[in-house]
Amino acid sequence: MKKIVVVGGGAGGLELVTKLGHAFGKKQQAEVILIDRSQTHIWKPLLHEVATGSLDINNDGLNYRAHAAKHHYQFQLGTLIDVDPKTCQLTLASLTDDKGHIILPERSIQYDSLIMAIGSVSNDFGTPGVSDNCYFLDSHKQAERFQQALLNQFLRVHQEGPDARLKLAIVGGGATGVELSAELFHVADMLKAYGMPEMSGKRVQVELIEAGSRILPALPEHIASLAAKELIRLGVTISENTRVVRAYDGGFHTADEVDIHADLMIWAAGVKAPDFVADIEGFETTRNNQILVKNTLQTTQFDNVFVIGDCCACEQADGSFVPPRAQSAHQMASLVFDNIKASFLSEPLKEYVYKDYGSLVNLSRYSTVGNLMGNLMGGSMFIEGRIARFVYVSLYRLHLIAIHGWLKATIIMMAQKIGKVVKPKLKLH
């Protein structure tokens, strides 16, 4: 029996392994395995809500092992540390508990078809002090770690009296940095209802630091401008053309010899694939460790290895690379599923063509802005407000449908609505 291994249970990886499980695992035509370093899946665009406590992963996360049991694939907990494409073997690091005791030793897994969907991590560009002094939002564990620190800081500011302020500095004016900036004010206002009556957004000071000429560089300029105006109205200080050269305990030092002081520092600038990818013999990679692929999403050297999502470097007709977005991962997952089916039947493979359906930025309860249609109809349609918010929420619902099916996804959505009525609106622990 052939063995299909998917490494990485993000948006693309989980949608793909769900389809593979139903197509091959259910009929026992192939052994389908998902490997991830975490037990729980959360849609990555929602990590900023986990980081502020607006979303509780214990209620809204998906357990891989439970999902695997219902969708005909196997789940293995582990961290990928090496791949040998010549022998079709991958290596997982030893699994240890909180005290460092070994639960499982380092182990190897054979595969017939491998799909690399390991996502991306923040790129600190080698900036001194960043890894030691900044919070990252690459995983739900990192987001939960920041949420605990944020809650402690809110408590401190509330106890110190009306003149105390919480200062946060966020490096990176992309979607994560922008959405997190707005969400922080929303959460501060909500704390009034949870034992901190003197707390409000007015006691929060957020500085959003962007090395480029404007925030949201991947979006049209008029959308970025509207988002900037909304952030400024909330009280965010936007520092564009500002390059951080060093981080230290309590702030950032910029190339202009300016110190930006902060109680909490978040690094959300740039993405790259994990560093070990660049050391895999036989994989061609970019300077950001992304794996170069052919138009079929197979690696340039090995036809039985596919790559999807943020770790994939797929060149488009105009010479640019497909952007690392959730919609890219979704499209790639669908194409690789079709190509694996085709390879089983010895049929020709399809080529991937990225379709840009637009981008949306959610500024918490204050506003949502973006553009839709993208390459459809040869143009772009700007949307904002309630319509944009509806579309933004719909994207998450489509993801739920892809991994659960219509019926269960509908039940989950209803349960989440009920939960918002009977449970606290914030995670307070």
Domains of the chain (ranges plus CATH)?
2-120+273-344 (3.50.50.60), 128-270 (3.50.50.60)
Whether pLDDT at 25 is above 70: yes
Cα gap 90→423, rounded to integer Å: 43
Percent of the chain with pLDDT over 90: 67
Residue 368: predicted pLDDT = 67
pLDDT surpasses 90 at 203: yes
- pLDDT at 262 exceeding the cut of 60: yes
pLDDT tens by residue, 272-331: 999 999 989 889 999 999 999 999 999 999 999 999 999 999 999 899 999 988 889 999
Helix (H, G, I), strand (E, B) or coil at 97: coil
- Would the pLDDT of 375 be above 50? no
From CA 163, how far away is CA 196, in angstroms rounded? 15
Q: In Å, how far are 155, 159, 191, 195, 425 from 420, measured between CA atoms?
A: 24, 28, 16, 19, 6
Mean pLDDT of 163-189: 94
- Measured CA to CA, the distance from residue 350 to residue 336 in angstroms comes to 9
Q: Give the pLDDT confidence score for residue 209 in this predicted structure.
A: 98
**Integer-rounded Cα radius of gyration of the chain:** 22
Helix, strand, coil % over all residues of the chain, rounded to 5: 40, 25, 35
- Are 310 and 12 spatial neighbours (Cβ–Cβ below 8 Å)? no
pLDDT value at 376 more than 60? no
Whether the model pTM is above 0.85: yes
Cα–Cα separations (whole angstroms), residue 53 to 46, 147, 220, 424: 11, 6, 30, 10
Percent of the chain residues past pLDDT 70, beyond the cut: 92
pLDDT at 369 over 70: no
pLDDT in tens, 225-248: 989 999 999 999 999 999 999 999
Q: Which amino acid is at 103?
A: I
CA dist 341 and 347 (Å) reads: 8
Among 19-28, 37-46, 54-63, 400-409, the minimum mean pLDDT is found in 54-63
